[in-house]
Structure 1
């Protein structure tokens, strides 16, 4: 990761994209460790997590994570998924957060030195280019070590730096043999500054 000590840093996590990359690598991420690790690289100003949620369901598998992130200092941006029927008559859901990520990144550009984008979506190439033109460095976190790779080549090439999740996950993943957290531990507030 390119950067200097004291850089003002923000994390922008495309939740669905990061989940897909981590699952393809068979890695369980520890978001507390993740924010601590990037916080050591500079002054962590903000950490955003973007995800679409299914509304009206009694239980959503993403809800415990969203609640934990929100309670532990992440800015969680959600929107309801949209249901539609595809050309084959199959019911599908869609929850793209690209616009929300782009708007937040552009709005914060004057206040940051370095942005970390957790996504492999090639649609972000032009956004990264626009942010770089404003003097802010952009590091992209995804992976090339899956088949197919989780990152679009054009996004990887546009970024100032690329961190392969497969290589960095050891710094912020949960051990595979760790006992599952209890619900109380999952929602335990981290009161560290």
Structure 2
């Protein structure tokens, strides 16, 4: 990654998009390692994490992550998922955080030299262009190593630097448990007669 040790940086993580990219690469992210990695490269001013949450559920798989992030150095931005019924009578959910992320990036631009956007969403191309017009460099992190690629080509081209998420995984992921070794009891040894 291309950072200067004295530059002020901010991370903007599109939670749903990053989760999808990491899952497609069969990786579990370690957000403590992620923060440490960027703190070693530059002056990390703020790390934002955006996600929609389902309200009213007794248990949400996302709640422990959101709580951990909130207590461990991230500014977590959430909003409730909206439920609606389509024309066929199917209940669907919607929880897009694009506007919140875009507004925060634009407001935060005067306070940093470099922004890191964890998303592959092509809708952010114009946002990245607007941030660059304010004199702020933008690195985009996503992946091309999936079918289909998680990064929109127009966003990748607009970024000052594109970082392949798969190349960053050794620094920011949790090791996967190794498969259990076969037990000697599971094999019978054939002996010559």
What residue number does 2:138 align with?
A: 138
> Aligned residue pairs: how many?
178
Q: Which TM-score applies when normalising by structure 1?
A: 0.90
Q: 1:6-17, aligned counterparts within 5 Å? A: 6-17=6-17
SS in 2 for 1:148: coil
What residue number does 1:115 align with?
A: 115
Deviations 1:11-48 (A, max 9, x none): 00000000000010000000000011011110000000
Q: Which TM-score applies when normalising by structure 2?
A: 0.90
How many angstroms apart in 1 are the aligned matches of 2:90 and 2:2? 45
| Range that drifts further, 169-178 or 83-92 | 83-92
How many angstroms apart in 1 are the aligned matches of 2:108 and 2:88? 41
What residue number does 2:59 align with?
A: 59
Moved over 4 A (4+): none
How many angstroms apart in 2 are the aligned matches of 1:113 and 1:92? 40
Which consecutive residues of structure 1, in runs of 5 or more, have no partner in the other structure?
A: 179-193
How many angstroms apart in 2 are the aligned matches of 1:87 and 1:151? 31
2:19 maps to 1:23: no
1:86 deviates by 2.4
Q: Answer whether contact 1:9 1:112 (CA < 8 A) is retained.
A: yes
Cα root mean square deviation, aligned = 0.9
SS in 2 for 1:12: strand
